Structure 1
Amino acid sequence: SALSAARPKIADYPFTTLVPNLGVVRAKDGRSFVMADLPGLIEGASQGAGLGFRFLKHIERTRVIVHVIDMSGERDPYEDYLVINKELETYNPKLLKRPQIIAANKMDLPEAEEKLKVLQEKVKDVPVIPISAYMRRNLDALVYKIADTLETVALDAFVEPVNDEVVEYKFTPAPPPFTITKAEDGVYVVDGPAVRKYFERTNFDRESEVKLFAQRLRKLGVDAELRKLGVKNGDTVRVIKYEFEFLD
Structure 2
Amino acid sequence: MKFIDEAKIQVIAGDGGNGIISFCREKYRPFGGPSGGDGGKGGSIWAIADRNVNTLIEYSFSRQKKAKNGENGRSNACHGKNAKDIFLRMPIGTLIINYKTGKNIAELVRDKQTILLANGGKGGKGNIHFKSSINRVPYKKSNGVKGEHKELKLELKILADVGLLGRPNSGKSTFISAVSNARPKIGNYPFTTLNPNLGVVNINYNNFTIADIPGLIKGSSYGAGLGIQFLRHLQRTKLLLHIIDVSLFKNKINLIQEINEITQELKNYNVSLFKKPRWIILNKIDILSEKEKIKYLENFVDYFKSKNKIFKISALTHTGCSELIFEIFNYLSKLTS
Q: TM-score range by the shorter chain?
A: 0.5 to 0.7
Aligned equivalents of 1:119, 1:54: Cα separation in 2: 30
Distance 1:68 1:44, change over 3 A: same
**Residue 59 (1) aligns with residue 234 (2):** yes
Match of 2:314, as an amino acid? S
Mapping of 1:157-196 within 5 angstroms? none
The structure with the largest alpha-carbon Rg is: 1
Q: Which residue of 1 aligns with 2:150?
A: none
Listed one character per residue, the Cα deviations across residues 107-149 of structure 1 (whole Å, up to 9, x for unaligned) are 1122344322122111122111110011111101111121222
Distance (whole Å) between structure 1 residues aligned to residue 304 and residue 190 of structure 2: 22
Paired residues for 1:67-216 under 5 Å: 67-73=242-248, 74=251, 75-109=253-287, 110=289, 111-124=292-305, 125-153=307-335
Q: Which has the higher strand share?
A: 2
Pair 1:46-2:227 in alignment: no
Per the TM alignment, residue 61 of structure 1 is displaced from its structure 2 partner at its CA by 2.2
Larger RCO (CA under 8 A, 6+ residues apart)? 2
Q: Is the 8 A contact 1:77 1:115 kept in 2?
A: no
Q: Normalised by the size of structure 1, how large is the TM-score?
A: 0.56
Secondary structure in 1 aligned to 2:179?
A: coil
Q: 1:117 to 1:150 in 2, by over 3 A?
A: same
Contact 1:15 1:41 in 2 (8 A): no
| Identical residues among aligned pairs (%) | 41
The equivalent residue for 2:70 is none
Gaps of 5+ in 1: 156-248
* Residue 3 (structure 1) aligned with residue 185 (structure 2): no
Q: CA RMSD in A?
A: 2.1
Structure 2, unpaired ranges of 5+: 1-175
Distance 1:113 1:13, change over 3 A: farther
- Separation (CA, whole Å) in 1 of partners of 2:296 and 2:233: 30
**1:86–1:62 distance in 2 versus 1, CA, 3 Å:** same
Q: Is the 8 A contact 2:216 2:226 kept in 1?
A: yes
Q: Structure 2 CA distance, aligned partners of 1:113 and 1:134?
A: 21
Deviates more, 1:105-114 or 1:125-134: 105-114
1:19 aligned onto 2:184: no
Is the 1:107–1:113 Cα contact (8 Å) retained in structure 2? no
Deviation at 1:39, TM superposition (A): 4.4
Report the Cα distance in structure 2 between the residues aligned to 1:15 and 1:115, rounded to whole angstroms.
Answer: 26
